[in-house]
Amino acid sequence: MSYLDKIIQSRRSTYLKDFNQDDISEVEIEELLNLALYAPSHKKTKPWRFVVLRGEENISKLGEELTNLYLKHTPSEAFSETKHKGMKAKVMQANTAIAIVVNFSGKVPEWEEKVAVGMAVQNLWLKATEMNIGGYWSSPKFIFHLNDFLGLAKHQKCIGLFYLGRSTDKPTKSREEDNEDFVTYF
């Protein structure tokens, strides 16, 4: 098995509750983001944009904004007071939050640009795995309402938040998947 195989098979979601308070440096974040930029995109539109929120004050502001958006955009029948009250505290467990943004070019179908951004995040996530940094992609139902908070342009849309943190927990091995469950040959 190659080194790349091992990294791909080790990639996991690390939940915010499992993050500890160990710092992730700016240098490490730059390393992650640099590799994200190597993702492919049709017509080289490079539609990925990342807004990095670091430090207790910025993470706190993000938590407050998410709490307010949850209150504003969640129908009463789906609203959970427990979730509402715990949302900010949950976000505060992250060392860094990276808003995942699609910068729509108008040159190719929007779905292609969303997929390209997903590939950029996968690059970032694999590098984080190699560096023993935990990652978690969250896309709450009201994620698109973060655009104003993030200062995005009209042709840009936030599609998720990627939380980074250190964890002392060792990732569990996922179950082995059989190709025949997912692949059809003609």
Which tens digit of pLDDT belongs to each residue from 117-171?
999 999 999 999 999 999 999 999 999 999 999 999 999 999 999 999 998 776 6
Q: What is the pLDDT of residues 46-71, one digit of tens each?
A: 999 999 999 999 999 999 999 999 99
- Angle subtended at Cα 11 by Cα 137 and Cα 172, rounded to the nearest 5 degrees: 105
Judged against a pLDDT cut of 90, whether residue 176 lies above it is answered with no
Confidence of residue 172 (pLDDT cuts 50, 70, 90): low
Contact 139, 161 (CB under 8 A): yes
pTM score of the predicted model: 0.93
Tell me the domains of the chain and their CATH numbers.
Answer: 12-167 (3.40.109.10)
The total of other beta-carbon atoms located within 10 Å of residue 158's CB is 21
Q: Map residue 21 onto helix, strand or coil.
A: coil
What is the predicted pLDDT for the residue at 173?
62
